[in-house]
Amino acid sequence: MKIKVLAVFGTRPEAIKMAPLVRLLKESREIKCTVAVTAQHREMLDQVLSLFNIIPEYDLDIMKERQSLSDITSAALKGLEKVICSSDPDIVLVHGDTTTTLAASLAAFYQQKRVGHVEAGLRTGNKWFPFPEEINRKLTGSLADIHFAPTRNAKENLIREGVEPEWIFVTGNTVIDALKTTVDERYVFSTPLLNVIDYKNKKVVLVTAHRRENFGQPLENICMAIRDLVEEFPEVEVIYPVHYNPSVRDTVFPILGDVEKVHLIDPLDTREMHNLINKSYFLLTDSGGLQEEAPALGKPVLVLRDVTERPEGVDAGTVRVVGTCREGIFKEAVKLLADESEYRKMSGAINPYGDGYASKRIYHAILYYFGLEQKRPQDFIYESTGCLKGERQFD
Ligand code: UD1
Ligand code: UDP
């Protein structure tokens, strides 16, 4: 009898990070993997599904324009009840900290199903930052039976909260598995603008900002700082793929829409995005995933938040948390643009988040949990030499 795994996700970052795992589980002889998407995101989710060739068995199609958190939670919870009853999984796999993640864990719990949490244990320790993700991941952690922590630090967070260490596996982050399949030094973009940018002679700053806690004044400050930068530095060119959320677009376009050398474009598909990171000079972002991807490609990241749940990049020196005040962002960006040695200090490729074998560790951990393997998979250990180009074999 195969172990029945139901993988549930709903947004772009969950899909990117679950894709390598789903592909591996679908190929497995011991596991039958079914995919349910809430489609909390629509276009941004579909971009990932088509890139990784994933056709979900269930699609709840819940996205609404300007959806509230309760809209997402209630629609996902209700829809997933039916999915879980009809697919009758042995374990429901969820990812990260979105509202889909929490609703799926709760739906599984209500049907008395086991929950596996991928990217478990990230914490800022502040209930409001990021909002609502810190609480989503804490509650999911309480509902989960098996925790796939990407780093040792994430495992320690879970132990501090009383989680049984036996059921925490340090796996690395599956985003590094995905990155290994998308980045190519000779990549040709399918977005024409990205092929005409002069990456050698310009300093391309890649921007993303979408977080709920940055809506309003903080996002306005971010946009004003970007304007200041292109005015001060003729060599700077900004590329900003703007999230489809109207609350983001309503702020960004009026401030930056007419600014020369600021390219506001639609969200890119993952392959385009990963290769654009690889060609950019540095990143300004409030995204979680980009804080993991950019260090692996040796790109400095200035984080547009007051706290981060990903301290590993900060400790290694590639990531700096700069807040959301206009002058503060400008000052930190100037350091990178005007001071070569500062730039070099931050741009060494490091990969504290994974070695490309996270999905494989998760797969073996599931077999171990269900008694199909006797040996516990070895934890991912970050080696400071580990980077995309020098990964070591898992087995
Ligand atoms: C969600 C997650 C956040 C994650 C982010 C990744 C929650 C509460 N938030 O935030 O943790 O970091 O995804 O991007 O789970 N929209 C579209 N098309 C799309 C996607 C979104 O039009 O493909 C618009 C819709 O109007 C939607 C709005 O964006 O109502 C907001 O989407 P939502 O998922 O609620 O919030 P995000 O900010 O995307
Ligand atoms: N991303 C993408 N296209 C874009 C912007 C981001 O494919 O236009 C990818 C990015 O490379 C990363 C993920 O989306 O893998 C991050 O998602 P997001 O910032 O939406 O969410 P977060 O990580 O903050 O939860």
Q: How confident is the model at residue 394 (pLDDT cuts 50, 70, 90)?
A: very low
Q: How confident is the model at residue 28 (pLDDT cuts 50, 70, 90)?
A: very high
pLDDT of amino acid 382: 87
Q: Identify the active-site residue in 119, 177, 309, 332.
A: 119
- pLDDT-wise least confident of 108-117, 192-201, 384-393: 384-393
Judged against a pLDDT cut of 70, whether residue 166 lies above it is answered with: yes
- pLDDT above 70: percentage of residues in the chain: 97
Beta bridge partners of 239: 206, 263
- Ligand 2 centre and the CA of 125: distance in Å? 23
Q: How far apart are CA 53 and CA 47, in angstroms?
A: 10
pLDDT of amino acid 349: 81
pLDDT of amino acid 348: 86
DSSP code, position 2: -
Q: Where does 157-289 show beta strands of DSSP type E?
A: 168-170, 203-208, 236-241, 262-265, 282-285
pLDDT of amino acid 391: 44
Contacts of 390 (CB under 8 A, 6+ apart): none
Answer whether 141 contacts ligand 1 (Cβ < 6 A).
no
Taking residues 212-238, report their average pLDDT: 97
pLDDT in tens, 9-27: 999 999 999 999 999 999 9
Nearest residue (CA) to ligand 1, atom 20? 41
Q: How far apart are CA 274 and CA 120, in angstroms?
A: 23
Does 293 participate in catalysis according to the annotation?
Answer: no
Contacts of 360 (CB under 8 A, 6+ apart): 24, 377, 394, 395
Q: Identify the active-site residue in 210, 271, 310, 361.
A: 210
Helix, coil or strand: residue 329: helix
pLDDT of amino acid 395: 43
- pLDDT above 90: percentage of residues in the chain: 95
Query: Which residue from 63, 65, 102 has its CB within 8 A of the most atoms of ligand 1, so it is best to mutate?
Result: 63
Task: For tokens 């009758």, name the residue.
Answer: 88
The C-alpha R_g of the chain, in whole angstroms, comes to: 20
pLDDT in tens, 44-74: 999 999 999 999 999 999 999 999 999 999 9
pLDDT of amino acid 208: 98
Contacts of 369 (CB under 8 A, 6+ apart): 91, 116, 145, 146, 167
Q: How confident is the model at residue 384 (pLDDT cuts 50, 70, 90)?
A: low
Looking at all shown ligands, the one closest to residue 219's CA atom is 1
Q: How confident is the model at residue 351 (pLDDT cuts 50, 70, 90)?
A: confident
pLDDT in tens, 188-217: 999 999 999 999 999 999 999 999 999 999
**Residue count of the chain:** 395
pLDDT of amino acid 388: 43
pLDDT in tens, 269-305: 999 999 999 999 999 999 999 999 999 999 999 999 9
